Amino acid sequence: MTQPPLRLGILGSGKGSNFRAIADAISAGTLNAEVALVLSDVQHAGILALAHERGYPAQFVPPGKYRSKLEPVVEAWVVDLLRGAGVELVVLAGYMRMIKAPLLEAFPNRIINIHPSLLPQFPGLDAWRQAIDSGVTESGCTVHYVDGGMDTGPIIAQRRVPVLPGDTPETLHARIQEQEHQLYPEIIQQFAEKLRVN
């Protein structure tokens, strides 16, 4: 029997190429999920434009006065929005704020993130630049559970890429993103299978 699609809540602050890869995998039939809601803390983010273009429910959430997190009352509202949309898995796709108690407690073990390095190496901003500056010959991307720290939650899966002589932050990031776009839909599909069995 075909399982009902896993309902995803996507949070992003940027251009949304990972969201695009997820949406494409759903359209292609390789990911048994549906986009229940897309939220962004950035009013003119590409991810919101893309969601609107494709007809997914999407909205801007004004973040409030802090730079690194949502104001608690806003985060509580985000929880209401996600619950109201029947979200089963929260997927961070280029979301640039920390997740705090209201959201963490509402979706225990149901919030995942993708980060452009082989964690625990290079958490935080511009991980591809950190990789080049440190002289490593290999980098990659990591999908992990989200906890209260900065890119610190338990690792689910990683993909490796070489750092090549002459790489710039842009060329390395592009190589990492190719892997992200394959890995994230695959891991979400594993959740779709796992969460339906339990």
Q: Which of 141, 196, 131, 137 is nearest to 170 (CA)?
A: 131
For ligand GRF, the binding residue among 114, 118, 143, 192 (CB under 6 A) is 114
**Is 9 a binder of ligand GRF (CB under 6 A)?**
no
Q: Give the position of tokens 């985060």.
A: 75
How distant, in Å, are the alpha carbons of 100, 138, 143, 164, 196 from that of 65? 15, 38, 29, 41, 39
* Beta strand spans in 47-137 (E): 58-60, 89-92, 111-115
**Using CB under 6 A, which of the segments 63-71, 80-88, 113-121, 157-165 binds ligand GRF?**
113-121
Note whether 115 and 141 are within 8 A (CB).
yes
- Does residue 44 have an active-site annotation? no
Window 54-93: contact mask with ligand GRF (x via CB under 6 A): ---------------------------------------x
Per-residue contact flags (x/-) with ligand GRF for residues 135 to 154, judged by CB under 6 A: ------x-------------
Instruction: Catalytic residue, from 44, 115, 173, 181: name it.
Output: 115
Q: What's the closest the beta carbon of residue 4 comes to ligand GRF, in angstroms?
A: 26
Residue 134: burial class (beta carbons within 10 Å; 0-12, 13-18, 19+):
exposed
Contact between 17 and ligand GRF by CB under 6 A: the answer reads yes
Write down the least CB distance from residue 87 to ligand GRF, Å.
Answer: 19
- Which among 3-11, 30-38, 49-57, 111-119 is the span making contact with ligand GRF, rule CB under 6 A? 111-119
Please give the Cα distance from 2 to 136 (Å, whole number).
45
Q: 103 to each of 51, 99, 187, how far by Cα in Å?
A: 22, 7, 21
Is residue 177 within the footprint of ligand GRF (CB under 6 A)?
yes
Contact by Cβ (8 Å): 176, 141: yes
- Residues in contact with ligand GRF by the rule CB under 6 A: 12, 14-18, 93-94, 114-116, 141, 177, 180
List the catalytic residues. Answer: 115
